[in-house]
Amino acid sequence: MAIDRLLCIGALAVLMSGIAATAQEDDPSKLAAALDQRALVQRGKVVYELYCAGCHGIDGAGNGPAARWLDPKPRDFQRAAFKFRTTPSGALPTDEDIHRTITRGVFRSSMPAWFLMPETDKVAVIQYLKTFSGRWKDPYEYDNPIHIPEPPEFVGTSESIARGKELYGLMKCANCHGESGRGDGPSSADLKDDEGRRIVPFDFTSGVLKGGPGLKDIYRTFSTGLDGTPMPSYFDSLPIDDDRWHLVSYIISLRG
């Protein structure tokens, strides 16, 4: 049985590598569609148990043997609440969103960057992650991604920073993140995530945000919010794109 399993996995790896050579590496959805779904999930299970279960747990509940020592805690895939997405607040992420997190990791956390993992393994493990929650089977759980444009030329200018500071006050960001952005606002001591664990507002003066280092990463966070946390989406409250970019300008100015 063990030899048969190894032969099966080997044949599957050869098949996937051949298809991957002709697929676009930056489009995991197209690659997933080109592969046999059942074989893909089986391969994803192998990849997940080898690389992911130590933190996220065999059953995907974020309760792996290493989880007790980690802060922030590993993602609970059974709840299917994802922070880093391009989709609206409350919606499931796209395959590309999960692919980005796997490839880049999560800054300032224990989630490493798996940029050397073969593309087919990334695509396979994404499909396997979807087996942990029934949300992925519900077509009403999906939503179109929010467009994340290229940063305008005015980002970082003194005028944009001034407008961003004004918006920072209007949106009451200081209640959590503090007047100077150090994560020490009056509400900061009472904040909790959806599982009742205390969560600390980000200190914008300390450098790279967990969602990524780029301007578009910060803009994405303002547009989508961080599901499972008190951080809301500003897509409706700041419907004008320029205002979200002005807020980005002010946030990067706090880094010094």
In the chain, where are the structural domains located? Answer: 2-141, 158-254
Q: Is residue 176 scored above 90 in pLDDT?
A: yes
pTM: 0.84
Tell me what pLDDT residue 22 has.
37
pLDDT, the chain, mean? 89
Torsion of CA 131, 40, 30, 62, to 10 degrees: 40
- Better pLDDT: 11 or 36: 36
Distance CA 101, CA 149 (A): 19
In the prediction, which pLDDT does 27 show?
A: 78
Give me the DSSP letters along 36-101: -HHHHHHHHHHHHHHHTHHHH-TTSSS--TTGGG-SSPPP-TTTT--SS-SSPTTSPPPHHHHHHH
Query: Given this chain, do its domains 2-141 and 158-254 carry the same CATH topology?
Result: yes
pLDDT band of 34, cuts 50, 70, 90: low
Q: For the chain, how many residues are written?
A: 256
Q: Is the pLDDT of residue 8 over 50?
A: no
In angstroms, what CA-CA distances link 159 with 10, 59, 124, 193, 243?
59, 50, 46, 35, 12
Give the class (CATH, top level) of 158-254: mainly alpha
pLDDT at position 37, please?
Answer: 87
Q: Is the pLDDT of residue 31 over 60?
A: yes
**Token pair of 123 as six digits:** 């695509």
φ, ψ at 245 (rounded to 5°): -70, -35
Cβ(135)–Cβ(125) below 8 Å: no
Query: In sequence order, what are the beta bridge partners of 209?
Result: 212
Which listed CATH number (3.40.50, 3.30.70, 1.10.760, 3.30.505) goes with 2-141?
Answer: 1.10.760
